[in-house]
Amino acid sequence: MQRVAFAAGVVFLGWLIFRIGPDTVLPSLAEVGWGFALIVALFGISVLANTASLRCMLPEPGRRMPLRTLAPVVVAGDAVNAVTPTATVGGGLLRVSLLTPGISTPGAMAAVGLAAMTQFVAQVLFVLSGVPAALTQISDTRLRSGLLILSAVLVSLLGAVLFLAWSRAAWRNLESLLCRFGLFRRWWASGGAQVRSFGSQMLASLRSRPGDFVRSVFFAYIGWFWGVVETFLILRMLKSPVDWRRAFSIETLAVTIEAILFFVPAKMGTQEGGKVLIFKAMGLDPARGLALGLVRRVRELAWAAIGLGVLGVLSRARARRGDNPPASIEQEVAGGGSGKDDRLRRFVAF
């Protein structure tokens, strides 16, 4: 499915460039010039915000870790997410393995899991805070109704997630309800003990540190909001300046589209196509929307290259010290000797 989605995204991106016209798109990109370097450099602010978000969720020894030490872990995990078809799972496992020399494996797993939850909460809050601005920029009544329905769904989903996270009784009731289904019951019987152990530790940490969770969501929200600043700057470089309200609207709708199409690896075609649709809906030049998406693509590739380079440096440093974090994860997470566990161990080791 992911290969088909990626291929479809490549074809769709090629069709977009052909439809709008290379003679229109390339001059727009040339207008950015050395601004590419500025956009790439300034994205470091978003990286620092996401690093601070993860740091808030680390256990006590890890919270003393300086940002300059933790940031390479975040960058390397983001690079794996950007270039491999593993959604956010591959980057999360990598972060756990890179954190384990200084933090226990269960503690690292709980921290990475909680950081993923704070990213989700911050993403929902970002979209909800941007919907009022987006409603003022779109005249199509169907799109406006769709945004209102989406907002209601997100509020309900956010409330359900937080309620399940904080209520022990609700979590047990949900488990009992799902165990009525044979497929879930069989899966829960085979690997449920490991999931329960990890989940209980993660949620216990969350309930005991609500202040850290709120701070983590705050920093993650800054990371999401940086996209608004980036959109504002790129469109000025493209000589299509917009005000902050319109930049907020564009980024809100872009994040929503990319979240819905999360299964497409590397957001291939969805990032550019989504912005073309957004610009058309807002009465803006679609060619500028495509150019905006392509500039963001270049920035993402640049940071993916940086992250893979950082990963190589960290891997060589650990090899010289004789550290082997994947082995500890293999022992503490996978365990057992079934075929399913063997596949999990091989994936974690990879």
Q: What residues contact 304, with CB distance under 8 A and at least 6 apart?
A: 78, 79, 82, 83
Per-residue pLDDT of the chain (350 residues; tens, 9 = 90+): 777 877 887 888 888 888 888 887 788 788 888 889 999 999 999 999 999 999 988 887 666 778 888 899 999 988 888 776 555 567 788 888 888 777 777 778 888 888 888 998 999 999 999 999 998 888 888 888 888 898 898 888 888 877 777 776 766 676 677 666 666 666 666 555 555 566 666 676 677 778 888 999 999 999 999 999 999 999 999 988 899 999 999 999 999 888 888 777 777 778 888 899 899 988 898 889 899 999 998 898 899 999 989 888 888 877 776 655 444 443 443 443 444 445 444 444 44
Contact present, 275 and 292 (Cβ < 8 Å): yes
Q: What residues contact 141, with CB distance under 8 A and at least 6 apart?
A: none
The candidate with the shortest Cα–Cα distance to 334, out of 148, 105, 107, 162, is 105
The candidate with the shortest Cα–Cα distance to 194, out of 59, 335, 90, 57, is 335
Predicted local distance difference test score (pLDDT) of residue 191: 56
Alpha-carbon distance 213 to 207, whole Å?
A: 9
The candidate with the shortest Cα–Cα distance to 16, out of 311, 302, 235, 288, is 288
Predicted local distance difference test score (pLDDT) of residue 187: 60
Alpha-carbon distance 147 to 85, whole Å?
A: 29
Predicted local distance difference test score (pLDDT) of residue 83: 73
Predicted local distance difference test score (pLDDT) of residue 196: 59
Q: Alpha carbon of 318 to those of 133, 202, 289, 330: distances in Å?
A: 48, 27, 43, 17
Q: Give the side-chain half-sphere CA count within 13 A for 326.
A: 13
What's the pTM?
0.81
Q: What tokens were used for 129?
A: 């805070």
Predicted local distance difference test score (pLDDT) of residue 340: 41
Alpha-carbon distance 326 to 246, whole Å?
A: 45
Q: Is 101 helix (H, G, I), strand (E, B) or coil?
A: coil
Residue-wise DSSP of 221-263: HHHHHHHHHHHHHHHHHTT----HHHHHHHHHHHHHHHHHTTT
Alpha-carbon distance 290 to 16, whole Å?
A: 8
Q: Exposed (0-12), middle (13-18) or buried (19+): which is 19, by Cβ within 10 Å?
A: exposed
Predicted local distance difference test score (pLDDT) of residue 30: 83
